[in-house]
Amino acid sequence: MIAPGRDGYQVSAADTARVGPKSTGASSMITLFLCGDVMTGRGIDQILPHPGKPNLYEPYARSALEYVALAERYGGPLPKRAGFDYIWGDALAALEQARPDVRIVNLETSVTASDEAWPGKGVHYRMHPANVPCLSAARLDCCVLANNHVLDWGRTGLEETLAALHAARIRTAGAGCDEVEATAPAVIDVLGKGRVLVFAYGMPTSGVPSAWAATKHRSGVNLLDDLSPRSVETIAQHVRAHKRNGDIAVLSIHWGGNWGYAICSGERDFARRLVDAAAVDIVHGHSSHHAKGIEVYRDKPILYGCGDLLDDYEGISGHEDYRAELGLMYFATLDSASGRMSQLVLTPTRMRRFQVNRATEEDAAWLIATLNREGRKLGTRVEMQPDQTLAVKWT
């Protein structure tokens, strides 16, 4: 029986909203944790056990310690040498509660001690390689590197980033020592359930310089020039070359500007074509400093902008209306046999004192209102659950 639902949704009488297809078996269900930008460089690097050189080349800041001082003026004292797990705050408990099979983040910083700042670039992020245990503390499986900060400290910095992450047994996607490595997916085996493949691309619209593109003979980023049908076909060929039955394909893409909720028709068409023509099961979008609307197309999640989970922007004025300090942890459960999503659960967070913690009830309400406003155009809404997580419902 179908009955009219709130906000024009059509829902069954037995369930207030559809939450996806029935599972074909518990053994084939894979839960992924995804989020947007995790920036552990600059000010955050300075409070970790092994801070790198603080020197910067920004118009308004010459030392990363200035970002520490700014955050302290805004939120109170910060630890001088925080433990590696400090930055994750309540997020570690949220991860433990959700128990995802795979953990994927967009790491928006170089991991290096290099002093070769990319010339002409206004902002340079870096974390000292000795601080990589802060990423291991969250037991990350894959760091996406196809973004506009991974080469902030030159190709030497990229090489050191790759070496440091791989030494910590963290897989990478979207950048490499050459074109082959940059385009190769991260392959994550989930024992008894299947595999997750992470393909990652960066776009000029997010600020990735064209000079950063990896080639046959040069390290760099897996750069996608545009959202044309030809780009879709290129991605489709690449996914088909790697994906096999039982695999979940994640397409992680750093695209668009930092601010604004608008999703242009080209982005929406491109994301849907990735599902239809390229066998992509999750579109993992990031670059915006705040969460954007969510779409579920053919039971495949399209996350247009996951926002920032962690950064050192605390106390910086401007764009306050977007509430960039509020973030989301995305937990998507998919059937590896069909690639269809059965549920999508979000944990609302708030950054303060360079730490990710659970959002207050008031902050969560703001996120719900924002996600529902933007999701209405995309066929989704969210509802608060008894455990203070948000369940995504789709038509």
Mean pLDDT of the chain: 93
Checking if the pLDDT of 23 tops 90, the result is no
| Entry field: residues in the chain | 395
C-alpha distance across the termini of the chain, in Å: 15
Model confidence, pTM:
0.93
pLDDT > 90: what percent of the chain? 92
Are the C-beta atoms of 391 and 98 separated by less than 8 Å?
A: no
Q: Which residues contact 300 (CB under 8 A, 6 or more apart)?
A: 275, 280, 281, 282, 283, 339, 340, 341
Q: For residue range 82-93, list pLDDT tens digits in order.
A: 999 999 999 999
Q: What are phi and psi of 7, to 5 degrees?
A: 60, 25
**Would you give the DSSP letter of residue 97?**
H
Q: What is the pLDDT, as a whole number, of residue 17?
A: 36
Confidence of residue 22 (pLDDT cuts 50, 70, 90): very low
**25 pLDDT above the threshold of 50:** no
Nearest C-alpha neighbor of 186 from the set 132, 226, 217, 146: 146
For a pLDDT cut of 70, what percent of the chain falls above it? Answer: 93
**276 three-state secondary structure:** helix
Write the CB contacts of 88 (distance below 8 Å, at least 6 apart in sequence).
137, 138, 355, 356
**Quick check: 364 pLDDT over 90?**
yes
| 8 A C-beta contact, residue 64 and residue 46 | yes
pLDDT per residue as tens digits for the range 210-238 = 999 999 999 999 999 999 999 999 999 99
- CA gap 15, 275 in Å, rounded: 27
Please state the φ and ψ torsions of residue 144, each to the nearest 5 degrees. Answer: -75, 130
Tokens of 55: 């020197």
State the residue for tokens 């910060």: 78
3-class state of residue 389 by DSSP: coil
Residue 167 pLDDT exceeds 80: yes
Is the pLDDT reported for residue 21 higher than 60? no
Is it the case that residue 11 has pLDDT exceeding 80?
no
What pLDDT score does 115 carry?
95
Fold of 29-394: Purple Acid Phosphatase; chain A, domain 2 (3.60.21)
Q: Where are the domains of the chain?
A: 29-394
pLDDT in tens, 309-319: 999 999 999 99
Q: What is the mean pLDDT of residues 48-62?
A: 95
Angle, nearest 10°, between helix axes 229-242 and 265-278?
30
**Tens-place pLDDT, residues 92-113:** 999 999 999 999 999 999 999 9
Amino acid at site 43: G
Between CA 17 and CA 24, with CA 18 as vertex, the angle to 5 degrees is 150
Is pLDDT larger for residue 332 or for residue 16? 332
251 CB-contact burial (10 Å; exposed 0-12 / middle 13-18 / buried 19+): buried
Q: Report pLDDT for 27.
A: 78
Q: How far is CA 265 from the centre of its chain?
A: 22
Mean pLDDT confidence for 304-309: 98
Q: What pLDDT is recorded for position 377?
A: 95
